[in-house]
Structure 1
Amino acid sequence: MIELATFLAFVGTFLWWIIVLVPWQPWNTQESLDATNDEKQSLDDITVLVPARNEGAFIKQTLEALSTQGLNLQIIVIDDQSDDDTAEQAQKWGVTVLSGTSLPTGWSGKLWALEQGLSKVHTPYILLLDADITLTQGIVAALLKKAREENLAFVSLMAEPPLHHFIERLLMPAFVFFFKLLYPFQLANKPGSRIAAAAGGCILAKTNVLRTIGAFASLRDALIDDCTLASRIKHIGLLTWTGLSHSARSHRGYDNMKTIWNMVARTAYTQLHYSSLLLFACTLIMISMFWFAPLVSFFLPLNTHLIITAVLTWVAMIIVYLPILRYYQCSSLWIAALPLIGTLFLLMTWTSAFRFWRGERAQWKNRRYEISA
């Protein structure tokens, strides 16, 4: 047993240093974009599509921020059969509100809402914006400038998560950290790379490109629709870019663990392609990296090798996790919680798998997506 624990500790330390040393540095925060000009510019080349289902509590702030972005910005809110006052709140801001129709078989709710909105778009660019995202004045112009100057067909921003509550500070920087490990932005932004990444909360895309790839119908059953969309665009040889931002912020708070748990569990097993083999491999990797490598020296008889292993592990963990903490202005002391954080995300992944095994593909916004027979 001691030999196995020691071996897993060595493997965990090795994996942490792989993350440190790989050339594309998935842990850095260099890929970012923020607003640089507060002056209102003409944005008549852009139509904003905001899919919204039961977002009455959040959409006011989203639309208020959009109203400061620039002149002639067209905004369409697609009310996806909400049970609350989403449509009424949107109408107060003078935007176009579409009443979404019933969800067809095989579609996810967000994509069906966007498909309906797309039929009303006549501008060269579309901004896909979640109903709980606040945009700093000038960021839409910055997105458009980047797309034009770098000939990008697709630009997306990872919105800054809310960090007011303890549970948010514990888990949300880690959520971004793990996402960047799975989809390294530096690789995703590299022409010719097969890696595609996107953050679905804020995406600027060329309208004709979306229509060329079959728009949202081509990914209608995708639960990780943002990355799938980026992949389709890269597949036809066009350029995409994804980065962090302080100028796009989520104002949907997570005041308890359950909401974050369900958000992660919704797609965690999908990330593993519904593979039991990958799930067990992921479990071994997480256990070795978050349990044995940093903690084994506390539970086994001390020897030089274990002490060196633990020290090297914590050094690597500091190197890779500190940048995201600094980016979000969180205390560096959260690094000490990484063993707990890793454990929680592993349990969320297993929750996702158990739900899949009992026939539930995902549940979101009071809709349950079942496994096809």
Structure 2
Amino acid sequence: MLLPIAVVSLLAWVWLTLFQGFFWRTDVRLPERTAPRRWPSVAVVVPARDEAEVLPASLPSLLAQRYPGSARVILVDDNSGDGTAQVAAELSRLHGGLPLTVASPGEPEPGWTGKLWAVRHGVALADEEFVLLTDADIAHGPDSLAQLVAAADASGRDLVSQMARLRVETGWERLIVPAFVYFFGQLYPFRRVNRPGGRTAASAGGCVLVRRDALERAGAPESIRQAVIDDVALAHAVKRSGGRIWLGLADRVDSVRPYPRLSQLWRMVSRSAYAQLRHNPAVLAGSVLGLALVYLVPPFATAVGAATGDPPVLGAGAAAWALMTGTYLPMLRYYRQPLWTAPLLPFTAALYLLMTVDSAVQHHRGRGAAWKGRTYPAPREERPSHGTT
């Protein structure tokens, strides 16, 4: 029975390599851009909850933006207990730069996630033409804002998002982080996201520039107030309302948040993995089987084929593993990681499989989507009812 399974796995990799939007390529960067005739006004909205530790490495980069037009920063303190608001005000006093407003909206109303409640408050305070939504752990190059606005203006996009380069310094970060971006691209191929007539939509929540009128047409953030995966939900809302979106990899937008231990990376993935599967046990089962077929069968078939002297099984498994390894190499180059680690992707995929299962277990225990002291249940419309969803 192993040979047909290995062949199916190989065919799956042929299809993924050639027909899944070339998800494995890392050359999708900001569209061609020229300086606008008139630089539009921009409000940078930073939702922050207990971020005093990372703000000194990120907020000064926003305050120091070299933007030719009118711009300001609005940091929304989401009921932090570590002095986030005070740290932000002190950093503004020390570094100067763009004007900073620090606001506190109070506890979220029922039906809102904390981040989107903070975003709602920040957007309500702004009347600028563009809003840059960026997380508190994201550091921007000095011309990041100008480049984003120029790209949106030149390409006529309503939403432009860059996936920040995550930190890869510890062994676990090197093993898991590049794979995280690789898997994201496999789910949401950037080229399909950027196709105006396509249905695929996604953005990266660490860096999302969006036109205010596009937000209003999409009814956001109110229309996505329960979303745990808010960046993908926002992109869907904007595209569904007729907006044009773009998503790509960043060159000078970096996350400064450390994830030195496996437990921290595990929580980062597992807190939203089951939400990605719409809290559906059937979709979870299919995803687990799919991950096993695509990522675990190739090395297993290779090992069994070599051990038993079965050339067809060995060939199918090795060919699938080779395609997997080859498509992972560009992401390792992007993250400047050793290329010899590419064949370890099945091990990383096995960890992601376990994280996904753990996400479902935690959800059914009432601890799903837990983040910084808050736990979010599945939105009502996603809850199973009488065996359906």
With the shorter chain as reference, the TM-score category is: over 0.9
Query: What is the CA distance between 1:353 and its match in structure 2?
Result: 0.8
- Equivalent residues of 1:156, 1:202 under 8 A apart: yes
Q: Which amino acid aligns with 1:77?
A: L
- Determine whether 1:60 maps to 2:60: no
Distance 2:296 2:73 in 1: 48
Distance 1:366 1:187 in 2: 36
Query: What is the CA distance between 1:321 and its match in structure 2?
Result: 0.4
Q: Which amino acid aligns with 2:360?
A: A
Distance 2:216 2:203 in 1: 18
Distance of aligned partners of 1:224 and 1:340 in 2 relative to their CA distance in 1, 3 Å threshold:
same
Query: What is the CA distance between 1:15 and its match in structure 2?
Result: 1.2
C-alpha distance after superposition, 1:29-65 (max 9, x if no partner):
121139999x9x9966111000000000111222211
Q: What does 1:353-368 align with in structure 2 at a 5 Å threshold?
A: 353-368=360-375
Correspondence for 1:76: 74
- Determine whether 1:28 maps to 2:33: no
Indicate the larger mover: 213-222 or 153-162: 213-222
- Partner SS for 2:51: coil
Distance of aligned partners of 1:42 and 1:52 in 2 relative to their CA distance in 1, 3 Å threshold:
farther
Indicate the larger mover: 49-58 or 212-221: 212-221
Structure 1 stretches lacking a partner, 5+ long: none
Q: Which amino acid aligns with 1:365?
A: K
Distance 1:52 1:252 in 2: 13
Correspondence for 2:162: 157
Q: What does 1:274-353 align with in structure 2 at a 5 Å threshold?
A: 274-300=279-305, 301-353=308-360
- Equivalent residues of 1:35, 1:247 under 8 A apart: no
Choose from 111, 120, 142 the match for 1:115: 120
C-alpha distance after superposition, 1:117-175 (max 9, x if no partner):
11110110000010000001111111000100011100011000101111000000000
Distance 2:196 2:32 in 1: 25
- Partner SS for 1:122: coil
- Matched residues, percent identical? 35
- Equivalent residues of 1:290, 1:342 under 8 A apart: yes
TM-score (norm 2): 0.90
Correspondence for 2:251: 246
Query: What is the CA distance between 1:295 and its match in structure 2?
Result: 2.4
- Equivalent residues of 1:34, 1:142 under 8 A apart: no
Q: Which amino acid aligns with 1:165?
A: T
Correspondence for 1:214: 219
The total of aligned residue pairs comes to 368
- Partner SS for 1:291: helix
Query: What is the CA distance between 1:297 and its match in structure 2?
Result: 2.9
- Partner SS for 2:221: helix
Correspondence for 2:86: 88
